[in-house]
Chain A
């Protein structure tokens, strides 16, 4: 084995050893690193799923119309679609991806999270259905006080 490849393999193995509790879980930061450095929502979605064609239905996304504090914008989303994964994107920050969930047979798509938004922008939630299609919901909101300082 070439030395370079061997070293690379060693790094991957060490990284895997550092993350004990993940079990069968998929860590998208390791499997799809390009998703986390993408600057636009379309680019991030394409890097994540290989396409950015989505169907805008079946996903409920709730966020305030005006967020007073961009440091902690409450975002709720839910769906009844039988799905493999869910991911949240926005276009207000330097990078587009906020978080991604891998689902299994016990999962229910009903999440609440709090996110940072540097400025006003649009949130996009993508639900990757078991049928291979992407379902999405979008919501635009104003941010009164940008929240990337905190």
Chain B
């Protein structure tokens, strides 16, 4: 996962991209494979949850998303994890600039 986190005026804005095909049930059926897409994404800073997102197959392929939160400092580490339908998972981190 690619993560960019920037702090400005007390608000941290994060842009992230998860590499995932996000195969919908329809597409998977046509291709004769099993549907698989990210079902849950979380982000934490200092063990505090800053993003909690349950998702469906309708996020774009390689989904890009942006979110904001308060209460972090420059230099803190943001840790993001996604889990997909078949149990695959990936964790990445970045330092807030």
Contacts and interface: CB of A to CB of B under 8 A. Distances in A.
The answer to whether A and B interact is: yes
A21 B65 contact: no
Interface residues of B, number: 41
Interface string A26-45: 11110000001000000000
Interface in A3-52: 18-29, 36
A36 B56 CA distance: 7
A115 B67 contact: no
B50 to A, nearest CB: 6
B7 interface: no
Interface string B43-55: 0100111111111
Contacts of A28: 54
Contacts of A19: 40, 83
Given A27-B40, A72-B60, A114 B81 contact: no
Contacts of A102: 52, 54
B54 A111 contact: no
B25 A94 contact: yes
A149 B57 CA distance: 12
B70 interface: yes
A76 to B, nearest CB: 8
A90 interface: yes
A94 B26 contact: yes
A72 B65 CA distance: 11
B87 interface: yes
B59 A22 contact: no
Interface in B52-83: 52-61, 63-72, 79, 81, 83
B86 to A, nearest CB: 11
A25 B26 contact: no
Contacts of A73: 60
5 contacts: A24-B49, A99-B55, A108-B67, A114-B59, A150-B61
Interface of B: 11, 13, 22, 24-27, 39-40, 42, 44, 47-61, 63-72, 79, 81, 83, 87, 91
